[in-house]
Amino acid sequence: MQWKYLISCALATSQVNALLRFAFSQLVVERFDPLVSPGQVSSHLHQVVGGNAYVFLFNITMDPANDLPSLSTCTTCTYKEDLSNYWTAVLYFQHPNGAFKRVPQLPGQYLGNANGGMIVYYIQTGGAVTAFKKGFRMLVGNPWLRTFNSSSAEANSLNFRCLTANYGNSGVTGAPGTDSHELPNQICTGGIRSQIIFPTCWDGVNLDTADHKSHVSYTINGACPSTHPVSFPELFIETIWDTTSFNSMWPSGGKQPFVFSMGDSVGVGQHADYVFGWKGNSLQQAMNSCTDAGGGNCNVLTTQSIDTINSCTQASRGAEQTEGWIPTLPGCNPIQAGPATATPVSGCGAVTTAAPGTYPPVTPVQPGSTVITSTETAIPTQAPGGTAAHWGQCGGQGWFGPTVCASPYTCKVSNAYYSQCL
């Protein structure tokens, strides 16, 4: 089983005492990131899994007092107790004609037919670990990086595997231990597996920090540093991108055609966010009691059916097209392949507010706290006029934004639906 090989490569220590491996179906794909940009539309598109309290995070900020299990009515996790949220950027295919289409996800091997989503591991290595605490959150990766830094523990914890049919390995990026840190520059007949490993050491004090990283650390020589002495479970996320339907469209010149939603065609900008939301002490109980190194069912947790997790979904609040063939990546995200760090772009006319929607009522976090409402901001109607920045949209059927480009750029027609400042 290929996933067992993957585990052996991911671990930095020699002994696995406990392993949870379980599926998540997809909750929503939308351009929000409550951790990095709370209360705002994010710069790029993400796929989100976990508890449906995520629908409220846009409005209620990331107050650590918020209890995700009590705010959620369902979870896309096969373990009912996990109402955490996990999200990553999504992958697109760029056709030789310039159009983009989102790459769907495959379910995890031996985990049932989940609707997209991810496979998540909680791995206990080298002895007992302390479960994450209520209000804890962290992120790994930098969406704007375009060059791999071999001396960075974080960079070495983000990689890809080129798969053959039935989740097999193939090619120079396929054999265990030889995964690539950039998107595979070859046709992967079984898809591309994205692999993200979070830090496992905590400072024991902060549930979060301004950069969402400084309170955690990777091990050094297999042990937690003195600045971060508390050992957490190793959180490991897999996403299997079903690139197979695009293999026949691979560019004749051989250029790697896949790109992450933040305009990263290299792959080193892949990243993931985590907001803890397990019920009570259920995760600690699982770490203490479930010692199957093969990731089998954990009898102290409640297993949900695949049909149940697939039914837990949320409508996207983004008032923009993200599916089908589209002329540009959602948001202001031109492809920036580096090697220099990418520069966030604005002014392209992308939607900057949430779509109107009706969501379940939310209970206040604590007695006496401000009541959290579910009122969403209406979509703005863009008025003609103004100027569009470099790379920005400047015309096309249904376009109501600026039609004049900032100097020295000119508005050039790509197709009937899209013109761009170039």
DSSP notation for 60-117: HTT-TT--HHHH-S-BSBSBTTB--EEEEE-EEEE-TTS-EEEPPEEPPTTS----S-
Weakest-pLDDT range from 41-50, 250-259, 376-385, 406-415: 376-385
Q: Check whether residue 283 and residue 413 sit in a common domain.
A: no
Residue 366 in domain:
no
Comparison of pLDDT for 379 and 326, the residue scoring more: 326
CB 116 within 8 A of CB 104: yes
Q: What is the pLDDT of residue 293?
A: 67
Number of domains observed in the structure of the chain: 2
Residue 377 in domain:
no
Q: What is the pLDDT of residue 115?
A: 81
Which two three-digit tokens encode residue 363?
Answer: 């209970």
Decide if pLDDT at 62 tops 80: no
Decide if pLDDT at 139 tops 60: yes
Decide if pLDDT at 264 tops 80: yes
CB 124 within 8 A of CB 287: yes
Q: At 403, is the pLDDT very low, low, confident or very high (cuts 50, 70, 90)?
A: confident
Residue 322 in domain:
no
Domain boundary among 253, 280, 310: 310
Residue 324 in domain:
no
Q: What is the pLDDT of residue 406?
A: 84
Q: What is the DSSP string of 193-219?
A: EEEEE---EE-SS-S--TTS-TTEE--
Residue 253 in domain:
yes
pTM of the model: 0.79
Q: Check whether residue 186 and residue 284 sit in a common domain.
A: yes
pLDDT digits (tens, 9 = 90+) for 332-361: 889 999 899 998 888 787 777 765 543 333
Q: Check whether residue 391 and residue 255 sit in a common domain.
A: no
Q: Check whether residue 273 and residue 405 sit in a common domain.
A: no
Decide if pLDDT at 147 tops 50: yes
Average pLDDT of the chain, as a whole number: 79
Residues 68-93: what's their mean pLDDT?
92
Comparison of pLDDT for 215 and 107, the residue scoring more: 215
Place of tokens 């400042």: 421
Residue 364 in domain:
no
Decide if pLDDT at 40 tops 80: no
Chain center to CA of 116: 12
Domain boundary among 291, 310, 329: 310
Q: Check whether residue 206 and residue 91 sit in a common domain.
A: yes
Q: What is the pLDDT of residue 382?
A: 30
Decide if pLDDT at 213 tops 60: yes
Residue 199 in domain:
yes
Q: What is the DSSP string of 13-55?
A: SS-EEEEEEEEE---EEEEE-TTTSTTSEEEEEEEEEEBTTHH
Q: Check whether residue 266 and residue 394 sit in a common domain.
A: no
Q: Bridge partners of 415?
A: 418
Q: What is the pLDDT of residue 167?
A: 64
Decide if pLDDT at 223 tops 80: yes
For the chain, give the number of residues: 422
Q: Check whether residue 270 and residue 406 sit in a common domain.
A: no
Q: Check whether residue 263 and residue 407 sit in a common domain.
A: no
Residues 118-147: what's their mean pLDDT?
90
Residues 29-44: what's their mean pLDDT?
81
Q: At 387, is the pLDDT very low, low, confident or very high (cuts 50, 70, 90)?
A: confident
Residue 120 in domain:
yes
Comparison of pLDDT for 99 and 12, the residue scoring more: 99
Parallel, antiparallel or unpaired: strands 168-169 and 404-405: unpaired
Q: What is the pLDDT of residue 146?
A: 95
H or E stretch covering 237: strand 234-241
Weakest-pLDDT range from 34-48, 75-89, 105-119: 105-119
Q: What 3-state DSSP class applies to 373?
A: coil
Which two three-digit tokens encode residue 314?
Answer: 């949320």
- Shortest CA distance to 79 belongs to which of 306, 309, 301, 276? 301
Range of the domain at 401: 387-421
- Could you give the C-alpha distances from 266 to 102, 173, 195, 241, 323, in angstroms and in order? 17, 14, 15, 15, 22
Domain boundary among 292, 310, 328: 310
